[in-house]
Amino acid sequence: MPTVVNSGNMPQTEPTQNVNTQSVETTTSTPEQQENIASRIQVNQIVNQGVPIVVFVGPPASGKSMILVRLAKYLRTQGYTIRTDETFLNTEQYRNDCAEFNDKLNTNVALDGTVKYLLINVYKEGTEIAKLLEAPGEDFYDTDPTTARKNNNRVLPYLATIMTSANPKSYVMLLDLDSKVSFRNNSYHRDSYTDRFLKHFYPNIHGRRDRIILLYNKIDLTPFGTIHECRDEKAARHDAELYYPQLFATMKVKKFGGFATMDNFVFKTFCTGMFADEVDDHGKNIQTYNIANEIYPQILWQEITRKW
C-alpha closest to that of 162 among 131, 136, 124, 127: 131
- In contact, 1 and 89? CB cutoff 8 Å: yes
pLDDT tops 80 at residue 42: no
pLDDT tops 90 at residue 260: no
pLDDT tops 60 at residue 22: no
pLDDT score of 8? 54
Domain-by-domain residue ranges, the chain?
50-304
What is the average per-residue pLDDT within 52-72? 93
Highest mean pLDDT (candidates 18-22, 112-116, 154-158): 154-158
What is the torsion angle, in degrees rounded to the nearest 10, for the CA atoms of residue 85, residue 1, residue 169 and residue 121? 0
Highest mean pLDDT (candidates 4-13, 250-259, 265-274): 265-274
C-alpha closest to that of 244 among 302, 186, 295: 186
What is the average per-residue pLDDT within 257-271? 89
Does residue 191 or residue 43 have the better pLDDT? 191
Does residue 289 or residue 193 have the better pLDDT? 193
Query: Strand order in 80-84's β-sheet?
Result: 80-84, 118-124, 127-134, 53-57, 169-174, 211-216, 266-269
pLDDT tops 90 at residue 81: yes
pLDDT tier at 261 (50, 70, 90 boundaries)?
confident
Question: Which pLDDT tens digit goes with each residue over 92-114?
Answer: 989 999 998 998 898 888 887 77
pLDDT score of 10? 57
255: part of which helix (H) or strand (E)? strand 252-255
pLDDT score of 9? 57
What is the average per-residue pLDDT within 212-226? 96
Please give the Cα distance from 151 to 138 (Å, whole number): 7
pLDDT score of 48? 64
Find the radius of gyration of the CA atoms of the chain: 19
What is the average per-residue pLDDT within 157-162? 88
pLDDT score of 46? 55
Give DSSP secondary structure letters for 281-304. Answer: TTS-EEEEEEEPPTHHHHHHHHHH
User: Which of the following CATH numbers is that of domain 50-304: 2.30.30, 3.40.50, 2.30.31, 3.90.25?
Assistant: 3.40.50
pLDDT tops 80 at residue 44: no
Does residue 25 or residue 253 have the better pLDDT? 253
Please give the Cα distance from 105 to 69 (Å, whole number): 6
